[in-house]
Chains A and B, each alone.
Chain A
Amino acid sequence: MTLMQKFLGAAATMALTAGIAAADPAIIFDLGGKFDKSFNEAAFAGATRWAEETGGSFREIELTSEAQREQALRRFAEGGFNPVVMTGFSFASVLDAVAPDYPDTKFAVIDVNWLDQPNVRGVGFAEQEGSYLVGIAAAMASKSGTVSFIGGMDVPLIQAFACGYVQGVKSVNPDLVVIQNMTGTTPAAWNDPVKGGELTKAQIGQGSDVVYAAAGGTGVGVLQTAADENILSIGVDSNQNHLFPGKVLTSMMKRVDNAVYEAFTQGVDMETGNFTMNVANGGVDYALDDNNAEIFTAEIKTAVDAAKAAISDGSISVHDYRADNTCPVK
């Protein structure tokens, strides 16, 4: 009986809070989970920052299966949450179908900037530019002449990371070898640190001494193995330098946190349309802090900063894999 009362109490509280929560923003995290130390965690950081600064509250859900995607989206829209933010390109088709059903709700989606809906804000990133920068750093830090890349799911977005990285590496020295691996072809590839670690060991065996992981939660396994085997690694999305101080060369930061923060701040009056965050507007960048100050030498910094300026003013243009689904270099 007491258990029953608890359940009833909980249900009542939930009903009440749902009523109050109307017009609060909501965020949906993709399958990697909000503690992936990477992409989703950056989004969570942005949402948390907004909540701390404004004292507001937001609703969140972490997807655990592909089937929940549309369900979660519709539930938030019907629950009156506004805006509803979601992280990840996998939402593209679902959102395209769902958005017209809720014309009064604003949606924001990260990593998708091609939808044409009046109530959708799409924020894309020029990942190839940020990857180009860390590619330069990798090439300069490598002693063996071989560097490597581990991607999460094999999709054009991740190929864009890889392609930008290779371009950066080859801009330093076209003779350097870049080994590439993808973790898998299903969304499970975002969260398989064991496989990430094994791929890293394979790449080390093939001579790599700097590995760049663009693989969400899988990347944790990559960075761990790299630290164990005493080679350098490059983090992604969030600043991951602190995970293994002195072992993570730098991180390719994708300011997902800023994108989420902005969407939350603009609230119900959010500006819709498609936006691209790039090096020039600070949307992507490399990370330099106390944890990597020793390994990220002044020489590297000079070269990377020069490239950053050149990309910003347009004198270097980094090829985007997504433009034609090919990469000019391998």
Chain B
Amino acid sequence: MDFAHAFLQIIIAMDMTIRLSVVLLFACLAGLYSERAGIFDIGLEGKLLISAFFSASFSYETGNVWLGLLAGVGASMVFALIHGIASITYRGNQLIAGVALNFLASGLTIVIGLAWFKEGGQSPALPQSSRFHELTLPFADTLRDIPLFGPLYADVISGQKPLVYIAFLLIPFTWWLLFRTRFGLRLRAVGENPASVDTAGVSVIRYRYAAVMIAGVLCGLGGAYLATSQASAFGREMSSGRGFIALAALIFAKWRPWYALMSCLLFGFLEAVSNLYPNIDVFGIFEIPVQFTQALPYILTVVILAGFVGKAVAPRAGGEPYVKER
């Protein structure tokens, strides 16, 4: 294997890693906001799914992918609101509310899909105008000939779909919002010690709702990416566990935005490797089966949780409904 060929393989793997990590990134950031404010969100999967369904359906019906995106985000926000009402206002169990959302999404998408399109719960294939297309950044073609950097810029950084750039820009934005603004400080405080925030005269309820709704928007973007960028139709259960992998990535990232970027890229990379090289032959001695690569995200998360590599400490008030002392 000569150098040029190896380099091409690396470029392909990087390109695929970015494409595959975007959904994880959106869902992971959604979980980050929600859990930083003390609301465990196991319903990421359901929100991705419902958004995927509505974004695909609306962009199919209207022929405008941006309207589809709006519908997806809207649907996901409705789900987030349900989660908020159940677990903030009525102080229900956050995990159970999340699981309920997952079931609701899985059932609703199929039932509505059956009634709407009569194609067994899928949406029809989306025409060109109802899908996101690759954006070519300026100078992509002129810079292509520069060794090393050229192909990297032209094939990996340029030529991704619009939501990809939004996802990556959200990382610094989230860092700034959470760690450099008053809003962020209060949001984090609500997840660590809500009583003290309350004493300072800030509404815990309002901040928790804000966090949950932001999570709704982000999951909405993730679901829309899934249905209108990565695929070109809605399929039953098309989120296929990505919401759960995102949760794993969140724990792996120890609830920090930059680490979240790293863990989502790592998990995306592992999926890309399992796609590109199903069975990896290690110097002809033994073969790493594809199932191992696919299971690695979960194995890594368990290792992290078990405390072998650093320590993952969840926001202290996470999972607890806030009750004012009377």
Measured CB to CB, the residues of A under 8 A from B are 33-36, 62, 64, 181-182, 185, 188, 191-195, 197-199, 201-202, 205-206, 217, 220-221, 224, 243
Contacts and interface: CB of A to CB of B under 8 A. Distances in A.
A195 B242 CA distance: 12
A191 B235 contact: yes
B275 A202 contact: yes
A181 B278 contact: yes
Given A202-B12, A202-B275, A202-B276, A217 B235 contact: yes
A318 B44 CA distance: 48
B111 to A, nearest CB: 11
B16 A198 contact: yes
Given A197-B231, A198-B16, A188 B278 contact: no
B16 A64 contact: no
A182 B121 CA distance: 25
B238 A194 contact: yes
Nearest to B239: A194
B240 A188 contact: yes
A185 B120 contact: no
B120 A193 contact: no
B233 interface: yes
Interface residues of B, number: 28
Contacts of A199: 275
A33 B12 contact: no
Contacts of B121: 33
A170 B69 CA distance: 46
Interface centre among B15, B120, B122 (most CB of A within 10 A): B120
B226 interface: yes
A220 B120 CA distance: 15
B199 interface: no
B20 to A, nearest CB: 7
B61 interface: no
A221 B125 CA distance: 10
Contacts of A197: 230-231
B110 interface: yes
Contacts of A243: 125
Contacts of A201: 16, 19
B291 interface: yes
A202 B9 CA distance: 10
Contacts of B316: none
A177 to B, nearest CB: 13
Contact of B240 (A33, A182, A192): A192
Closest 7 pairs (CB-CB, A-B)? A205-B12, A35-B120, A33-B120, A35-B119, A194-B231, A202-B276, A202-B275
A108 to B, nearest CB: 22
B51 interface: no
14 contacts: A34-B120, A64-B236, A185-B291, A192-B235, A192-B238, A194-B235, A194-B238, A199-B275, A201-B16, A205-B8, A205-B9, A205-B15, A224-B231, A243-B125
B232 interface: yes
A35 B235 contact: no
B275 A33 contact: no
Nearest to A185: B291
Contacts of B15: 205
Contacts of B235: 191-194, 217
A173 to B, nearest CB: 21
Interface string B151-192: 000000000000000000000000000000000000000000
Nearest to A200: B275
Nearest to B131: A228
B122 A35 contact: yes
B236 A224 contact: no
A199 B125 CA distance: 19
Interface string B93-118: 00000000000000000100000000
B236 A191 contact: yes
Contacts of A195: 275
A201 B291 CA distance: 20
B268 to A, nearest CB: 11
Contacts of A33: 120-122, 236
A243 B127 CA distance: 12
Given A191-B236, A217-B235, 7 more contacts: A181-B275, A193-B232, A194-B238, A198-B20, A201-B16, A202-B272, A224-B231
Given A35-B120, A62-B120, A195-B275, A224 B232 contact: yes
